[in-house]
Amino acid sequence: DLVANHQLNIRQTVLASYALGCTNLFLGAQVESLEHLDRGLESYDTSQRSDPIFRAGQDPGVALLNSCA
């Protein structure tokens, strides 16, 4: 179903943006890191907190904000 696919893509975008942002940060590429982290924050919606994929660990919104700091 189209709505479910859209939600899955948003979740994947948030998690991939976080992973790429952290990786670039550790590599010393701050500009690229912030671009990825900002993309993740733009895609993140607090209503996603109840999704099982986000309950398995830390809240991606909190992690993205923490990495941007």
54 confidence band (pLDDT: 50, 70, 90): low
What's the predicted TM-score (pTM) here? Answer: 0.75
Structure confidence at residue 49 (pLDDT): 67
pLDDT (tens digit, 9 = 90+) per residue, 10-26?
A: 888 888 998 999 999 99
CB distance 13 to 28 below 8 Å: no
CB distance 65 to 41 below 8 Å: yes
Give the C-alpha separation, 1 to 15, whole Å: 22
Contacts of 8 (CB under 8 A, 6+ apart): none
CB distance 13 to 21 below 8 Å: no
Per the structure block, which two tokens stand in for 55? 């309950």
